[in-house]
């Protein structure tokens, strides 16, 4: 798959040059998804996840209140959730008030931006 080759080459270049790259990708395959170190997932203008991919199990456990699905399901599962995401409801369910402010003003991603 061409996307896998491009992302692989990009990652090799970034590692060898010690630089970062920001990539916007729509519906990545699991082979592409696995090559990323970090992810910023946006939904309806809100950041719902911004961290290392190794933190996804914590996101599923603490925010989504469920076990993380099999690895090959993750990209589609996250995209489906992002499309249907209601930040006010998720913040209230998680008991998070980011920045100590009003829950309605909160950004659920703040809990995962470390």
pLDDT in tens, 82-107: 777 776 665 555 544 444 333 344 44
pLDDT of residue 113: 44
Instruction: Report the candidate in 61, 43, 56 with the shortest Cα–Cα distance to residue 108.
Output: 43
Q: Running DSSP on this structure, what letter comes out for residue 114?
A: -
Q: How confident is the model at residue 52 (pLDDT cuts 50, 70, 90)?
A: very high
pLDDT of residue 38: 92
Global pTM reads 0.64
pLDDT of residue 89: 62
pLDDT of residue 87: 60
Phi, psi dihedrals of residue 86, rounded to the nearest 5°? -120, 105
Residue 18 has pLDDT above 90, yes or no: yes
Instruction: Report the candidate in 31, 24, 22, 23 with the shortest Cα–Cα distance to residue 2.
Output: 31
């Amino acid at each position: 798959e061409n996307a896998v080759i491009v992302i692989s080459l990009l990652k090799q270049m970034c590692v060898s040059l010690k630089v970062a790259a920001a990539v916007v990708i729509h519906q990545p395959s699991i082979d592409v998804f696995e090559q990323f170190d970090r992810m910023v997932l946006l939904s309806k203008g809100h950041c719902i996840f911004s961290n290392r991919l190794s933190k996804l199990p914590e996101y599923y456990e603490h925010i989504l209140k469920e076990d993380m699905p099999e690895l090959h399901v993750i990209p589609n599962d996250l995209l489906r959730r992002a499309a249907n995401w209601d930040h006010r409801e998720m913040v209230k369910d998680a008991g998070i008030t980011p920045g100590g402010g009003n829950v309605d003003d909160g950004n659920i991603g703040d809990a995962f931006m470390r």
